[in-house]
Chains A and B, each alone.
Chain A
Amino acid sequence: AQSVAQPEDQVNVAEGNPLTVKCTYSVSGNPYLFWYVQYPNRGLQFLLKYITGDNLVKGSYGFEAEFNKSQTSFHLKKPSALVSDSALYFCAVRDPGGGNKLTFGTGTQLKVEL
């Protein structure tokens, strides 16, 4: 079975500071990993994904994520946070050997303050 954990319900950061949103996963094989963002009253937007290759992947809006196989983690990062980054972030995993089911974490609310 595949699963995702987002240990922080909320992350607060000051604008201009770096941000990290944590994610750990569990799958039986090599994972496909995804990050999504949900703004209030809007659907989910895809940010980035890791499939294979370089452990650091870059995505939309200046976000990046680092895949760490030994720690089974896929933390989302941004060097300099903006107030407009405030939203709900979801990590998701798909086990390539388990069909196309995408399993989501519980979400982390990011609040960026001036």
Chain B
Amino acid sequence: SAVISQKPSRDICQRGTSLTIQCQVDSQVTMMFWYRQQPGQSLTLIATANQGSEATYESGFVIDKFPISRPNLTFSTLTVSNMSPEDSSIYLCSVMAGPSSYNEQFFGPGTRLTVL
């Protein structure tokens, strides 16, 4: 299984500012995923990040609000831009155990974001 780390683990930010979340994996992976888990709710996929190409965003999420970088096969960042209190959530990075769609996904510990 992949070991995934995220930085920061938590942060408290002011409205209107931006926060960049880092995700590091201990092995090379093709696809990385970013999820949001709002308080008391399920996980929602924000985007899929492939190395060497632009991220693919899900309905309701846009690149201007959640820009993603994927500079290599072990690292990705998600930026939450121009934050509002509605962005307060846990943000999770995830990778697939293998290239096939039957593989499970592993998740990082999450970044708990509070926007005041």
Which residues of A does B touch, CB under 8 Å?
32, 34, 36, 42-46, 49, 51, 90, 94, 96, 99-107
Contacts and interface: CB of A to CB of B under 8 A. Distances in A.
A104 B104 contact: no
B104 A49 contact: yes
Contact of B92 (A43, A51, A106): A43
A83 to B, nearest CB: 23
Given A43-B110, A44-B92, 4 more contacts: A43-B4, A43-B107, A44-B43, A106-B41
Contact of A32 (B92, B101, B109, B110): B101
B42 A100 contact: no
A22 to B, nearest CB: 15
B101 A100 contact: yes
A44 B42 contact: no
Interface string B103-116: 01111111000000
